[in-house]
Amino acid sequence: QESGKKHSIHGMYIPWPWTVNVGGQGYYFKNKQEAVQFIQKKIAAGKENIDVGCMQINLRHHIHAFANLEEALEPANNIHYAAKFLREKYKKLKNWSKAIAHYHSSTNIHGSNYQRAVFKIANNIDHHRFLLKKYLYNTKNHITMNLDDFAYEARGMSTMQLSKKID
């Protein structure tokens, strides 16, 4: 949720891998190198509360999660670590709602607010998926990316049927 960047034309939020949050202020960069340079400057200036990447991993609390900043900002690494961390929370708490809250913060008010925001997104996942498919299949965008056809085929709808539905 924190790494969502609103698309200027389509008005939908998309996860942005080169997102950095410093003390509650979000920054979006064109590429990984710009993000790394920004983080290095903030660390040199004494900032410690820095969240990085699409899953917003906090460098202060997860200092040993990655070998370097480049690794932390690599989407696959960032997501893998976040999933591992969330599984560890679930293993300890035996409850997904609590695990999601504690993923963000074990302080009740912060964790609860985060958990509600995640559930709001999850409850609207089909709408978000539809918007993303619409965006990806819009010929004006010149995108040739093919996004998880199996998710729709599992529901009995082929990609071709979906494309027709969107048009």
The stretches of 3-48 forming alpha helices (DSSP H) are 32-44
Secondary-structure breakdown of the chain: helix, strand, coil percentages, each rounded to the nearest 5: 55, 10, 35
Q: Residue 31: exposed, middle, or buried by beta-carbon count in 10 A (0-12, 13-18, 19+)?
A: exposed
CA distances 75 to 1, 33, 46, Å, are 15, 14, 26
Average pLDDT of the segment spanning 2-18: 73
CA distances 55 to 27, 81, 90, Å, are 14, 9, 17
Chain segment 104-154, per-residue pLDDT in tens? 988 888 899 989 988 888 888 888 788 777 777 764 444 444 444 333 333
Give the pLDDT of residue 166.
36
Output the CA torsion 6→147→159→123 (10° steps): -50
This prediction has a pTM of 0.73
Chain segment 36-71, per-residue pLDDT in tens? 999 999 999 999 999 999 999 999 999 899 999 999
Closest CA to 89 of 97, 80, 99: 99
Element (H, E) at 21: strand 19-22
CA distances 99 to 77, 88, 111, 113, 129, Å, are 20, 8, 9, 13, 24
